Amino acid sequence: MNKIAFIGAGNMARAIIIGLVNSGVAAQNIMVSNPSEAKRLNLAQEFGVLQTDDNNKACEFADVVVLCVKPHFITDVCRQISQAISISGKLFISVAAGTTVAQIQLALSKNSQVNLPPVIRVMPNTPAQLGLGMSGLYASPEVSTEQKSIAEKLMTAVGKIIWLATEDKINDIIAVAGSAPAYFFLFMEAMEKQAQHLGFSAQESRMLVQQTALGAAQMVAHNDDAISTLRANVTSKGGATHAAIEQFKHDGIEEMVKNAMNAAITRAEEMAK
């Protein structure tokens, strides 16, 4: 069994660890490194994983290193690791937004273009914390078929995945899935406010909106019909739903969504420079 080290103990590391342990990976094959003792001990006590405050020790332990640090720390962390230990044969998986495979490889290889390490870049989203994530994965040419399978096991433990043919598609994944939970939250927030304006209590408004959103998502997940068909099925011409949908269209919802997603892509591209 491959040994896995998590550099960083934030929400995404926790989500993946939960998924791995629940899927049968032995806790003793997982080590977490983080400067915060409280975060490390919490994971160790809850799931039985190993813990350390030494990134180098964690990387020496592991065959697979999952980089879960904030983007502005990742190159420094990679340089420190490569200067302290041999990284030969190790697979590196990064969940840091805005940091390219090339940047990670150069930091790990001490700015050498020779013998670049295998790196997989992953763009997950926050529902991974519930095992309902959607992740896009891009592998550098150095990644073997076996290593791809390892990455698949990690990320399917917290949701669904798609492989990307080119790294620039990561930015598209950010717009379509990575940032997208916030889009739905914003829409639900607006509905919740209007429900309260209509006289429902805060608790009632929350329940009405969340249960309706959950039900709609489950109908999509459990039905092969096009989403447009599902929408049409509940939109009787001339009815109340039809009036609401026509108002959304009049107010430019499609253009609004397109502009928002393009803004996310533009910002992701800026962050990667």
Q: Give 123's strand partners.
A: 136
Kindly state whether residues 62 and 129 are assigned to the same domain.
yes
130-182, pLDDT tens digit by residue?
889 999 999 999 999 999 999 999 999 999 999 999 999 999 999 999 999 99
CATH code of the domain containing 219 = 1.10.3730.10
Full-model pTM: 0.90
Looking at residue 1, its pLDDT comes to 64
Output the pLDDT for position 137: 98
* CA atoms of 71 and 262, how far apart (whole Å): 21
pLDDT at 60 over 90: yes
d(CA 40, CA 120): 24
Closest by CA position to 180, among listed 260, 255, 266: 260
Distance between CA atoms of residues 120 and 140, nearest Å? 6
Enter the tokens of residue 216.
Answer: 């709609």
Residue 111 included in any domain: yes
* Together in a domain, 19 and 151: yes
Among left, alpha and beta (phi > 0; psi -120 to 50; other), residue 79 is alpha
Domain range for 116: 4-164
Q: Are strands 64-67 and 4-7 parallel, antiparallel or unpaired?
A: parallel
Tell me: do 23 and 141 sit in the same domain.
yes
Neighbouring-strand partners of residue 237: none
Instruction: Find how far residue 101's CA is from the centre of its chain.
Output: 16
